[in-house]
Amino acid sequence: MQTLKQVVGIDVGSKELVVCFGKLFSNLEKQLYLYGNFRNTSQGLAKLYQWVEKHKDTDVSVHYIMEATGVYHEKLAYFLEGKYCNISIILPNKISNYFRSLEVKTITDRTSSEAITLFGLERNTELWKSPDPVYKTLKQLTRERDQLVQERTMIKSQLHAEQTESTPNSHSIKRMQYRITILNDQEVEIQKEIREVIKSNSKLIDAVNTIKSIPGIGLLTAAIILAETNGFETIRNKKQLVSYAGLDIKEKQSGISINGKPVISKRGNRYLRKAIHLPALAAIRHEQHYKNIFVRLVNKHGIRMKAAVAVQRKLLELAFILYKTQQQYNPKYHLNLTPIKES
């Protein structure tokens, strides 16, 4: 039998890569026939590549497929790109939905790698290419700031707890205040670097200004949206963007016995969800169009957070549309924007 396709499915972890090698034959039979475990280090990546080269059919190219798992997959993706390999990075919700169709009862790293391999053998997946370095730099800076803000929030909570003690320790309070001052200075420094990165690229300036025209969205939020989507490089339509952010709706219904409450999946980019949260609340307060959406949904089901999430989706979709059509936000004509051809 002739080999039509070779796929290496990789379940990526922070420390380990669990690998499954599969083939699709001319009679459309799929075979999973090799398994391996490699460290997620430079040496481990080299061993993985050598292992695949040793076992592959030389007359058919190998397709490497992995999930988008935070930042853990990036080292592998850049390494394989340097070897001129075919790479696809799949959104987690696509793999999880496919996994359920396999009716696998036990979920392990090995079964996950098998599901990724079968997914690649059955479907034509889009090839990944590394993002523009400017977006990678933006992502590093905006994520560093996010971690810094989390750390500062934690220290402020500790400071408040210490100050409300019956006998607070003045030395502890002084040290915590000093740490907060340092973090404040570092945030100012990071924000300055973000502005400098944006100013250094005319295309990025235009993109940020376009997204900033949306009510509630400022420079930092616009930078996060562009950084986390690599300038919408791989986003083909609004539905895909919403799914990538984890703002898509997950329902559980079966007959008349199971009727679960719809919730957002949260299986996506948490930085995008977090970035769009406060802008959505600001848009609800200050922009009549979004206030109307919010009020209508609250009146419909009475859940304020669910209505706020709907506005988050609207803002994210609008950012994508304005970016693609190169239009500024206009409150009078937002319903008549040039449509995006969805692929």
Query: DSSP letter string over 148-173?
Result: HHHHHHHHHHHHHHHHTSSS--HHHH
Q: Say how far apart CA 299 and CA 94 lie, in whole Å.
A: 33
Q: Each residue of 133-185: pLDDT tens digit?
A: 999 999 999 999 999 999 999 999 999 999 998 899 999 999 999 999 999 99
- Lookup result for tokens 């690998």: 19
Do 250 and 262 meet the contact criterion of CB atoms below 8 Å apart? yes
Q: Say how far apart CA 219 and CA 336 lie, in whole Å.
A: 25
**Angstrom distances, CA of residue 290 to CA of 30, 243, 318, 319, 341:** 49, 21, 12, 14, 24
Q: What integer pLDDT is reported at residue 253 of this predicted model?
A: 43
Q: Each residue of 109-134: pLDDT tens digit?
A: 898 899 999 999 999 998 988 888 99
Q: What integer pLDDT is reported at residue 335 of this predicted model?
A: 52
| pTM, rounded to two decimals | 0.78
Query: Around 94, how many Cα atoms within 13 Å sit in the side-chain half-sphere?
Result: 23
Q: Each residue of 226-284: pLDDT tens digit?
A: 999 989 987 888 888 888 888 876 654 444 444 455 566 666 788 999 999 999 999 99
How many Å from the N-terminal Cα to the C-terminal Cα in the chain? 34
| Per-residue confidence band for 333, with pLDDT thresholds at 50, 70 and 90 | low
DSSP state of 71: T
